[in-house]
Structure formats: C-alpha cells, structure tokens
Amino acid sequence: MDLRHRLGLNVRRLRKERDLSQERLSLLSGLSRAYVSSVETGRRNATLDTLEILARALGVEGFELITPSSAFEADATPDHDDKEEG
C-alpha cells in the first residue's frame, strides 16, 4: 500500500475512533471538508505541513498517520506472559 492511501486510512480510522465527522475535523484543522475527504480517499497528495496539521488536530504524532495501523494495535495488545511466580 502506498503512503498516500495509508495516510488516508489512518486519518479516517483515527477520526472515527474520536467520533469526529469530516466537518468537525476540518474545523479543528483549518482545512476544508473537501480536502479532508480527498486525503482520506487517497485522491490528495498531502504535504508534510498538512500531515502535521492533521496529526495535531487528531492528537497524534505525524508519523502515526503513515505507520501501518497494525503496529499500534500490536503495542496495545496486553502481554499475557505476566504470570506471577510463586
């Protein structure tokens, strides 16, 4: 998957996790709703400045928008090897 589409999927996933509409994200970021939509669908090739703006509006670091979401899901998985010795 190319970075443009990964960015779009991550923006959409994070926006939905935060229960934000595209309109609300556009207000938080200062970008138009149409622009947010085009980033989410991979039609827009976002600049690094835009990536930073979206990351700030979503409350994440910029790199999280282009990292495969499975990397974050793995970090959130509880470690089941924490057995008490006794």
Domains of the chain: 3-69 (1.10.260.40)
**Collapsed DSSP state (helix, strand, coil) of residue 86:** coil
Please report the pLDDT score of residue 45 as a whole number.
Answer: 92
Which candidate, 55, 18, 17, places its Cα nearest to that of 39? 55
Please report the pLDDT score of residue 71 as a whole number.
Answer: 61
pLDDT tens by residue, 6-49: 999 999 999 999 999 999 999 999 999 999 999 999 999 999 99
* E strand or H helix at 37: helix 33-40
Q: How are the residues of the chain apportioned to helix, strand and coil, as percentages rounded to the nearest 5?
A: 65, 0, 35
pLDDT bucket at 85, cuts 50 / 70 / 90:
very low
Look up tokens 């779009």; give the residue.
8
Tokens at residue 20, please? 């934000």
pTM summary value: 0.80
Kindly tell me the burial class for residue 73, based on how many C-beta atoms sit within 10 Å of its own C-beta (0-12, 13-18, 19 or more): exposed
